[in-house]
Amino acid sequence: MRKRFIYETINGNQPQTLTRLSPHKKTGDFPMVTVLIDQDTKRRRRDRLERIFLPFEVETILNIPISYHAQEDQLIWVGNKNGTFTVKSAYYVARKIVEGNSRGEPSVGDVRALLWKKMWHLNILAKVRIFSWRLCMDAIPTMLNLNKRGVQVEPICPLCKDDIESVEHAIFKCEIAGCVWKMWEDCPINIMDINRDVSDLAIEILHQGTQRDLEKCFGVAWRIWLNRNQVIYEENGEPAAHIWGFAIRMTKDYKDVNGLKVKHKENKKQQWEPPPEGFYTINVDGAIPLTNGQSGVGMLIRDWNRRVIAVVSMPLPRRYSVKETEAIVVEQGLVLAKELGLEKIIVEGDSFLTIQAIETMDVRGVAGHIIKGMVLGRLVAACKRQKSDTLTGTTTK
């Protein structure tokens, strides 16, 4: 932002209102945002920020990455990933604000956030993964859930007739299910102590055991549910040993097949090919710490004879988002190529979205100003995406 007065601040990194929080101060010799940036290092000047803004606002401003080339202001909608306003995204933003005001903001994040994140990366069949998610959400059609939704059925378990058929009863407590779980000799928790919902049990397995334990748990649970339906509706069930054995073999076979695919992909990735004669390949990658710390970027430039031209690795001033870090590392790679006088370049990275955004000049979203700065700063002229992670173009002198 070059022309906006610096006292027109916005609350937080994800603005929700345009309410000014900093008291209106006389800005003296630097009323514009550009004077808060060191033009040599392309970094913000903390000393000047601290003279004008509140401490938490200073940290928010420092977390905004700076584009290589100064450019005109533009409005970016932060309610979705592409930076374009839609009524649907506004609805979700408004609902989040209302729910936060009514409940109060939690001091910590969703305790199940780790489980949801892990669940979609488990090395299990897609149908088992979807079932597992429904299981943790209490969304499988047990008699109790059907009854709650107005289906005219008795909520009693149709097999043992002794208890309400909740999710926990159907998968863990019913007689046949209990016999199956007793075969898990090295279970990291007491899985029969099921005085809690399934999501809490899954979280404890992650804490006390490993991801493999959770994959085994969900695989066995899926087979128990399948067998239960076969007994109820087809009168054709299996003994506990068969249920357990099938679930374990199914999980192992899928891992073996999937492991071969991953190994093939890894071998394929290792076969780096040099660029055509006269071109230079810039391999770029970024790293983001899980919690606190700084993002980092690395660049490697090689020519058509496989000769290394330059290698650079450096930390960034702050911890940026994945999109911001990936855009910055491409930008820094192009800056390095321009400084070395390399005109015909091929950029290779693992961020499809960043490469695609540069090719199409998509300047929406959190990294849009960085991508726009690459073009305005004449870092790259004509460019064309060759593969999902490769961009061929020319730099300008």
In order of 39, 114, 190, 397, the CA distances from 208 in angstroms are 51, 14, 11, 58
Per-residue confidence (pLDDT) for residue 2, from 0 to 100: 39
Confidence class of residue 317 from pLDDT cuts 50, 70 and 90?
Answer: confident
Higher pLDDT, 361 or 278: 278
Higher pLDDT, 211 or 83: 211
Place of tokens 């994040």: 109
Are 342 and 280 in contact, with CB atoms under 8 Å apart? yes
Confidence class of residue 322 from pLDDT cuts 50, 70 and 90?
Answer: confident
Per-residue confidence (pLDDT) for residue 132, from 0 to 100: 93
User: What's phi and psi for 177, nearest 5 deg?
Assistant: -65, -45
Nearest-angstrom CA–CA distance, 192 and 178? 7
Fold of 280-394: Nucleotidyltransferase; domain 5 (3.30.420)
Percent of all residues in the chain with a pLDDT value above 70, rounded to a whole number: 75
Higher pLDDT, 355 or 14: 355
- Say if residue 83's pLDDT is above 80: no
- Say if residue 244's pLDDT is above 80: yes
Most confident residue range from 45-54, 124-133, 325-334, 373-382: 124-133
In order of 159, 174, 183, the CA distances from 163 in angstroms are 10, 9, 23
Strand-pair partners of 389: none
Per-residue confidence (pLDDT) for residue 129, from 0 to 100: 92
Per-residue confidence (pLDDT) for residue 263, from 0 to 100: 55
Are 183 and 166 in contact, with CB atoms under 8 Å apart? no
| 3-state secondary structure at position 80 | coil
Per-residue confidence (pLDDT) for residue 246, from 0 to 100: 94
Dihedral (CA of 123, 125, 129, 135) sign = negative
The mean pLDDT of the chain is 78
Nearest-angstrom CA–CA distance, 212 and 205? 10
- Residue ranges of domains in the chain: 113-268, 280-394
Higher pLDDT, 107 or 300: 300
Percent of all residues in the chain with a pLDDT value above 90, rounded to a whole number: 26
Nearest to 184 by CA among 219, 234, 148, 232: 219
The arithmetic mean of pLDDT across residues 21-35, rounded, is 61
- Say if residue 265's pLDDT is above 60: no
- Say if residue 274's pLDDT is above 70: yes
Six-digit token pair at 249?
A: 């073999």
Instruction: Characterise 214 by phi-psi region: left (phi > 0), alpha (psi -120 to 50), beta (else).
Output: alpha
Per-residue confidence (pLDDT) for residue 90, from 0 to 100: 84
Dump pLDDT digits (tens) for 37-63.
777 776 778 888 888 888 878 877 877
Confidence class of residue 35 from pLDDT cuts 50, 70 and 90?
Answer: confident
Confidence class of residue 4 from pLDDT cuts 50, 70 and 90?
Answer: very low
Per-residue confidence (pLDDT) for residue 289, from 0 to 100: 78
Nearest-angstrom CA–CA distance, 207 and 214? 10
Confidence class of residue 105 from pLDDT cuts 50, 70 and 90?
Answer: very low
Instruction: Characterise 145 by phi-psi region: left (phi > 0), alpha (psi -120 to 50), beta (else).
Output: alpha
Higher pLDDT, 166 or 260: 166
- Say if residue 180's pLDDT is above 80: yes
First to last CA, the chain: 26
Q: How far is CA 266 from the centre of its chain?
A: 22
Non-local (6+) Cβ contacts of 222 within 8 A are 127, 128, 131, 132, 247
H or E element, residue 43: strand 43-44
- Model confidence, pTM: 0.47
Burial class (CB in 10 A: 0-12, 13-18, 19+), 72: exposed
Nearest-angstrom CA–CA distance, 18 and 7? 12
Nearest-angstrom CA–CA distance, 27 and 103? 39
Non-local (6+) Cβ contacts of 109 within 8 A are none
